[in-house]
Each structure stands twice: as C-alpha cells, then as structure tokens.
Copies of this chain bind each other. A is one copy, B any other.
Amino acid sequence: MDIQLNCPVPLRHDTIQMAHGGGGRMMRELLESVLLPAFRSEALDTRHDAAVLALEGSRLAFTTDTYVVRPRFFPGGDIGELAVYGTVNDLAMAGARPLYLSVGMVLEEGYPIEELRRVAASMKAAADRCGVSIVTGDTKVVDRGKGDGLYINTAGIGAVPAGLSVGPRHVRPGDAVLVSGDVGRHGVAVMSVREGIAFTTPVESDCGPLHGLVGALLGGGVVPSCLRDATRGGLAAVLNEIATDAAVGVEVHEADIPVIAGVEGACELLGLDPYYVACEGRMVAFVPGDAAERALAVLHATPGGEGASRIGTVTEKGPGTVILRTRLGTRRILDLLSGEQLPRIC
C-alpha cells in the first residue's frame, strides 16, 4: 500500500482518472473513500508500505505492487528490475529482510516473447542481487488492445527482526530526516525516453535495492523511527504522508536536498518540480535526532548510500504540514499534488 492517510475525503469523480494512480491527493481520495473502508483490517490500518504479520511465532512482512511503467525499458533499468527492487524496497521499509517473491504477469496478445525473455532474465538477476527467490507465479493473457504489452505484479515476504517496529507512529519531534541519495532520477529517466528528449548529460534511473542500507543501519545500531522509499509522488509525497500519518510537522532545507544537475536541467525543461518526481532507489529515513550523525556515517559507508544527506527535522509545529526553507531563506509549504505529474512511472 503506497499511500495511506487518515481523514476520509469525498471523491470528486464517478470514474477512474489517470490522476487516481499518481501518488497524489486523488489517489489518497480513492483509497480513503473506496478501498480502505471496504477492506478494513488491522494491518491496513498501520498505514505502511508492507504489512507486518504474525505467523506461528514469527513476524513477517508482506507487500504487493503492480508495475505498469511505460516505456518498459528506460536508461538505468526496465520493468522487470523495477518489479523486483520496488517490492524488495517495500519490505525493507518495514525493517524486514526480503526473502521470497511471487510474480503475476498480464501479457497482451501479440507481445514479443523475445522481450519476455529479456524481462524475465532481468528479474532473475535483480532477485539474485537482493538474495530473494522467485517462488511462485502466474501468467494471464488478455486480448490485443486490452493491455499494454506486459504488466507485472510482485508480492513479497520478508522476515522482521524480533522486537523491531518501524513506522509513522514512531516518528517524534526532534527526529532527523535523511535521504539516502539524490532525488528525481527515475522520473526524469523515464520521461526522457517517453518524450524523446536527449539531454546533454543523460540521466539514468536510480532503480535499485534499499535493503542493504536498512540492514547497515540496523547492524550499526541505528533504529529508524520510520523508513519510506520515495516512489510515485517523489520526496514531497513521502514527507506529506509521514507528516499526516504521524501528526507532526516536517521542515526541510532546499540547500540540503541532493538533486543532480541533469535532473535539475531536465525538470526545468519539462516544467517539473524534482521534489515531486519519482525515485526508485532512494529512501527517506526518520531517525532519532541523537542518532542522525551515526546514521549518516553508516549510510555513507554503504553502497548506494554514498550520497545520503540530512535534509531536515521533525517539528511540533503544524501537524501534517511540510515546510521547505528555500535557498533564499523563505519558507513555503511543500504540499501534496492533486493528481500526478507523471503517469505510469512505475
């Protein structure tokens, strides 16, 4: 479950709009007013990327995501890698060690089998890199014009260390807000292909696994309050979700949020705000203030975390609100967008 928020909100549409899938306010409305009330369960109420469940004395994390990214191949990755890393990352965000994946494919009549081979090989390589096994699967075929080549669902199971609990309800004023690297790459990489734009500095997706960073933090004695990967809706969506769910304020500093020049340039060209552009290999970590230094040191020393940065602090002011301090010293609210900037980004 990617977005989870508290207050029920009315739906303004009778039919599904593209923006209902975009990670913004309209997606929240759909979940809050239709799906969460219908499915109501204790685990869904915890509002996290993965459910943490009891199974005969063990604790397991369980999550699912469907991948509909367009195009299926983009600089730095493809739909297969995304489907493995995305679900591995949702498990990692619950503090879990990822173990097992299921794969459900919807194939459109006419889809090239050679491409299916490439995607499957890519999934296997990604799974091997994460130390997870693909253990069960399903394929369905739909008529030409009723799909878009290939949609992939993955569900994942991980083991949660005894006693560990990570989630919005543990976030406290004074917590430091870290990101594990520069933001906005995935969205820009996808858009560059989709819009046929060649940048002088090509931007590659950050598509990759985060469980190593989480393992390093836990191994280094840092117990994060909350972890979340910044996918649909980007950094801004994650900060808003946590601010709302934890009923805290979040203040971040523009000057401390890493954005590479290629992403910045592309965003200017495309009229996008990089804070709202999806990442696929970046997490936001909320850690107790006195553990911030150690957490940063651990991340910097771990592959994939070299570019980690402390970007802000959790406050008591304005629960549910994210404030951005600009380079000019002004303050502005970093709000949740209504719809999406980028459809079908993952």
Contact mask for chain A residues 152-185; partner B; CB cutoff 8 A; 1 contact, 0 none = 0101010100000000000000000000000000
Number of copies: 2
List A13-42 residues whose CB lies under 8 Å from chain B: 13-22, 27, 30-31, 34-35, 38-42
Size of the chain A interface, CB-CB below 8 angstroms: 84
Bound form: Cα–Cα A43–B111 in Å: 27
Q: Which of B2, B30, B134 has a CB less than 8 Å from the CB of A41?
A: B134
Question: Is A333 in contact with chain B by the CB < 8 A criterion?
Answer: no
In the complex, what distance in Å separates the CA atom of A258 from the CA atom of B210?
Answer: 53
Q: How far is the CB of A5 from chain B (nearest CB, A)?
A: 14
Q: Min CB distance, A244 to chain B, in Å?
A: 19
Once the chains are docked, how many angstroms separate the CA of A35 from the CA of B140? 13
Binding site for B on A (CB under 8 A): 1-2, 11, 13-22, 27, 30-31, 34-35, 38-44, 50-51, 53, 55-58, 60, 62-68, 99-100, 102-114, 116-117, 120-121, 123-124, 127, 133-143, 145-148, 151, 153, 155, 157, 159, 343-344
For residue A189, give the distance in angstroms from its CB to the closest CB of chain B: 19
Which residue of the partner chain, among B18, B34, B107, B133, contacts A109 with CB atoms under 8 Å? B18
Cβ contacts under 8 Å, A137 to chain B: 1, 35, 39, 44, 64
Residue of B nearest to A63 (CB): B136
Q: Decide if B135 touches A43 in the complex (CB within 8 Å).
A: yes
A42 x B146 contact (CB < 8 A) = no
